[in-house]
């Protein structure tokens, strides 16, 4: 598990993590943020999943291309981010 603070630089949607993985068994991950922040998952350039509860799973088989997890927030706002292996 990894925990870090993230401060929004511009506001709006900003990337918290990018996962590049090509292989037979890509890892499945989960990312959670403090507060009431929206998250979304982009695969390549398409939004494929959104979450309003502060947590989102990503990786797994969809990670054969680029996965990006983004959060929405206000410029200068700091959030706590926790990244872990996704529950089975």
Q: What is the pLDDT of residues 71-81, one digit of tens each?
A: 999 999 999 99
Task: Residue 10: give its domain's CATH number.
Answer: 2.60.120
* pLDDT over 90 (residue 25): no
Rounded Cα gap, residues 66 and 87, in angstroms: 21
Q: What is the pLDDT of residues 28-72, one digit of tens each?
A: 889 999 988 999 999 878 999 999 999 999 877 656 677 899 999
pLDDT at 88: 67
Range of the domain at 75: 2-85
Rounded Cα gap, residues 42 and 77, in angstroms: 22
Q: b/e map of 55-64 (b: 16 or more CB within 10 Å)?
A: ebbbbbebbe
pLDDT band (50, 70, 90) for residue 86? confident
Give the total number of structural domains in the chain.
Answer: 1
pLDDT at 23: 61
pLDDT at 32: 95
Q: Closest Cα partner for 32 from 71, 60, 66?
A: 71
């Amino acid at each position: 598990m990894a925990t870090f603070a993230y401060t929004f630089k511009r506001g709006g949607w900003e990337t918290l993590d990018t996962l590049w993985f090509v292989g037979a068994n890509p890892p499945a991950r989960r990312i959670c943020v403090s507060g009431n922040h929206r998250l979304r998952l982009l695969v390549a350039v398409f939004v494929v999943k959104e979450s309003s509860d502060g947590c989102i799973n990503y990786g797994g088989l969809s990670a054969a291309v680029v996965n990006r997890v983004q959060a929405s927030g206000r410029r200068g706002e700091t959030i706590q981010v926790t990244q872990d292996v996704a529950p089975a």
